[in-house]
Amino acid sequence: MAAVATAAPEDGDTAPAPGRGGKKKLVVLLAIPLVLGGIGAGLWFGGILPPLLGMAAKPADKGAGEHGAGEHGKETGGGGTGHAAAGGHGSGGEGKAAGKPSAVFMEMPEIIANLNAGPRRNSFIKLRPRLELAKAEDEMAVRAAMPRLLDLFQTYLREMRPEELRGSAGTYRLREELLARGNIAVAPARILDVLFPEIIVQ
């Protein structure tokens, strides 16, 4: 009986141990939600959590966004003003271009001239030149000088050999030579270019 009596206190000493472990677990379980809640609140008010959750920004951010939009609108408005100014400048340029006299073209009579092909063969050139004049007022002076202009053109063409008119180089040389002689004939009027809508060499 004495052995039984002494064993009972030992059981009594060990019985409270499970109770103390349970309290520690309970405290830990209660502390974890509090810590997580504190971290979540910090992330929320710090502005980190709402974007991650896809939620709208805070009113302060929205105000900042509106302010930014206003600034952007001002910039856009400024850009629009600049563009309008540029457009106005461009329109002015077009107005100047429109005010500039357009090119004046004048038809010449058809010219047929024998080329310098030698005594044993006949070769001729047929062309209808078109003159580009510097201004419309020059047309009257060119028409008045047309007999002299035709004479200079035909005299030059009779001196040319058929091989000198071959290819683009020959046409370019013919244009330059007729242009130089034409400006001498119509001075003080001015010819800008001599065009060949039709040219035949045989």
Q: What was the pLDDT predicted at 21? A: 63
Taking only the tens place, the pLDDT of each residue in 62-73 is 444 444 444 444
Across the chain, the runs of DSSP E, i.e. the strands, are 104-107, 111-114, 124-133, 191-201
Boundary (domain end) residue, out of 99, 123, 153:
99
The enclosing domain of 174 has a CATH number of 3.30.479.30
Residue 76 domain flag: yes
Taking only the tens place, the pLDDT of each residue in 138-185 is 999 999 999 999 999 999 999 988 888 888 888 899 999 999 999 999
pLDDT level of residue 51 (50, 70, 90 thresholds): low
Per-residue pLDDT at 56 exceeds 80 = no
Q: What was the pLDDT predicted at 88? A: 43
Residues 185 and 114 in one domain: yes
Mean pLDDT, range 73-89, rounded to an integer: 43
Answer for the pair 147, 186: CB distance below 8 angstroms, yes or no: no
Q: What was the pLDDT predicted at 63? A: 46
Closest CA to 125 of 163, 91, 90, 95: 163
- The continuous run of DSSP H or E covering 87 comes out as helix 59-99
Residues 94 and 161 in one domain: no
Mean pLDDT across the chain, nearest whole number? 72
Range of the structural domain that residue 95 is part of: 56-99
Boundary (domain end) residue, out of 99, 118, 134:
99
Residue 189 domain flag: yes
Across 48-118, the runs of DSSP E, i.e. the strands, are 104-107, 111-114
Count of domains observed in the chain = 2
Residues 76 and 131 in one domain: no
Distance CA 49, CA 38 (A): 13
